[in-house]
Amino acid sequence: MTEQIENYDSGTIRIASEVVKIIAGLAASEVKGVAGMSGGMVDGFTELLKKKSLAKGVKVEVGEKQCAIDLFLVIEYGTKIPEIAYQVQENVKKAVESMTGLDVVEVNVHIQGVEIRNEETIETRVL
């Protein structure tokens, strides 16, 4: 597990990569049009992870002062993918930088599927 370590006169502060993952996952899920995080493939369908497992759809590389984030998302059908992806990038960067003090050098958004809502069912399809 990678950690950000800050040394101060009164001691050391360590931020685990899992914390950065959770912050990034929460920030991504706040964007309208994001159906959830993608946790991989299950029988040809993308496994849709809701708020309970946000860190599973996120990969982070944390250095001493910087981090890079990869997000694997499922979006709602009918949304504009480039706009959603840009909003996710901005929201995640802002949240991680303000909460951890890390410089976010990149936020890569990977659209793994589309959630289609019918009146009776919700279906997630892999792109």
Q: Where are the alpha helices (DSSP H) in 30-109?
A: 81-100
What are phi and psi for residue 22, nearest 5 degrees? -65, -45
Whether the CB-CB separation of 113 and 126 falls below 8 Å is answered with yes
In the chain, the percentage of residues whose pLDDT exceeds 70 is 73
Structural domain tally of the chain? 1
CA–CA dist 73, 94 (Å, integer): 18
Question: Model pTM?
Answer: 0.80
pLDDT in tens, 37-87: 887 544 444 455 454 566 788 999 998 889 999 999 999 999 999 999 999
Averaged pLDDT for residues 96-101: 96
Least confident window among 1-15, 28-42, 67-81, 85-99: 1-15
**What is the span of the domain harbouring residue 45?**
3-126
CATH code where residue 52 lies: 3.30.70.1350
Among 45, 47, 58, 50, which Cα is nearest to 18's?
Answer: 58
Give residue 99's identity as a one-letter amino acid code.
Answer: M
